[in-house]
Amino acid sequence: MEASPFRGVVASLATMHGKQWALRPLLRRRLGLSLRLADVDTDVLGTFTGEVRRAGSARETVVRKARLGMAATGSPVGLASEGAFGPHPVAPWTAADVEYVALLDDRTGLTVVEHVVSVETNHGHVVTDGRDLAAVLAFLRGVGFPHHAVVVRPAAGTAQPVKGIGRLTDVLAAVRRACAESADGAAVLCADLRAHVNPTRMRVIAAAGERLARRLATPCPACAAPGFGPVGAEPGLPCRDCGTPTPRDALLIFGCDRCPYRSRRPLADAADPGSCPVCNP
Ligand SMILES: [Zn+2]
Ligand SMILES: [Zn+2]
């Protein structure tokens, strides 16, 4: 940490959902960086519950969110995090939470984005007419309720979802209300993915923060700018049995945000024949 270019720096953190709990201690410990909360409505960039659709990718949004915080606080250094839930990018039959964390530094023109892919996630939903209590309870158990909050909305129509529900009596009341409001008499019950009511997600954000901190502590071998790390990958890992290039990544490309220096590191020796277009067409 002695050499950290962020020692004593105060960065804005744009969050409405308590992400400072995941990020503040590790950034202070690893980089000497402090956080100042930016009072901005990050929901304008998109919500998990669909009232506001996210305009760009999570990677683009995390940079935009950091910019909002910097504008609100006047700080030249800003941080933000953004999550995306869906199929795992490499194993699409598994659900995944991809968490991005970005640091922008206008003093030097630096933008560093890191991400973590985690299969530890409780995102999911169930449609209920409210009569099958056992199904509702099973869903709640599955998403880690009440340590994780849930969201309830009518299955049909445009009524606003009720978010952050953490008590069983409130869940059942919200389901009854949503069923009554919905044209088809059904309610959708889903996990609340906002970080402050979803400790599983908060842990993944902390893991992304650790990765960002490690990267910011890594200077570029060519120009010494902070944040040297993975910027891409090259497919074509040869099949272990027949040597045919597979879609699996063969090389990780490391790069710098400030200069064109790149280096390549092999990821593995060979790919499983299961991913080979010849052995497993
Ligand atoms: Zn093969
Ligand atoms: Zn460089």
Ligand located closest to 239 CA: 1
CA 246 – ligand 1 centroid, Å:
8
Question: How would you write 143-197 as a 3-class SS string?
Answer: CCCCCCCEEEEECCCCCCCEEEECCHHHHHHHHHHHHHHCCCCCEEEEECCCHHH
Q: How many residues does the chain have?
A: 281
Taking the centre of ligand 2 as the mean of its atom positions, its distance from the CA of residue 215, in whole angstroms, is 13
To the nearest whole percent, how much of the chain has pLDDT over 70? 99
Residue 208 and residue 100 in contact, taking contact as beta carbons nearer than 8 Å: yes
Ligand 1 geometric centre to CA of 237 (Å): 11
Q: How far does residue 79's CA lie from ligand 2's centre (Å)?
A: 21
Q: Which ligand is nearest to the CA of 222?
A: 2
Domains of the chain: 1-122+194-217 (3.90.950.10), 125-192 (3.30.1490), 219-281 (no CATH)
Residue type, 92: P
Out of 40-44, 67-71, 204-208, 239-243, least confident range: 40-44
Q: Give the distance (Å) from ligand 2 centre to CA of residue 133.
A: 58
As a whole number of angstroms, the distance between CA 145 and CA 167 comes to 9
Beta carbons within 10 angstroms of residue 11's beta carbon: 26
Angle among Cα 155, 157, 159 to the nearest 5 degrees reads 95
Q: How far is the CA of 206 from the centre of ligand 1 (A)?
A: 39
Of 267, 259, 213, whose CA–CA distance to 11 is shortest?
213
Nearby residues for ligand 1 (ion, Cβ within 5 Å): 239, 241-242, 244, 273, 276, 278-279
222 versus 48: the higher-pLDDT residue is 222
Q: Give residues with Cβ within 8 angstroms of 73, minimum separation 6.
A: 12, 36, 38
- Structure tokens belonging to residue 259: 């200069």
Specify the pLDDT at position 1: 47
Ligand nearest to the CA of 248: 1
More confident residue, 90 or 29: 29
- Give the pLDDT mean for 269-280: 92
pLDDT at 54 over 70: yes
Q: What's the gap in Å between 110 CA and the centre of ligand 2?
A: 11
Q: What is the rounded CA–CA span in Å between residue 56 and residue 220? A: 29
Give yes or no for residue 185 having a pLDDT over 90: yes
Name the pLDDT band for 17 (thresholds 50, 70, 90).
confident
Nearest 5 degrees, angle CA 110-CA 7-CA 257?
A: 15
Q: Residue 201 — very low, low, confident or very high, per pLDDT cuts 50/70/90?
A: very high
Measured from the alpha carbon of residue 273, the closest ligand is 1
Q: Is 60 exceeded by the pLDDT of residue 44?
A: yes
**Cα–Cα distance for residue pair 218/215, rounded to 1 Å:** 5
Distance of CA 219 from the midpoint of ligand 2 (Å): 8
| Contact present, 123 and 98 (Cβ < 8 Å) | no
- Asked whether the beta carbons of 31 and 218 are under 8 A apart, the reply is no
Residue 202: in which H helix or E strand, if any? helix 199-216
Neighbours of ion ligand 2 (CB under 5 A): 220, 222-223, 225, 256, 258-259, 261
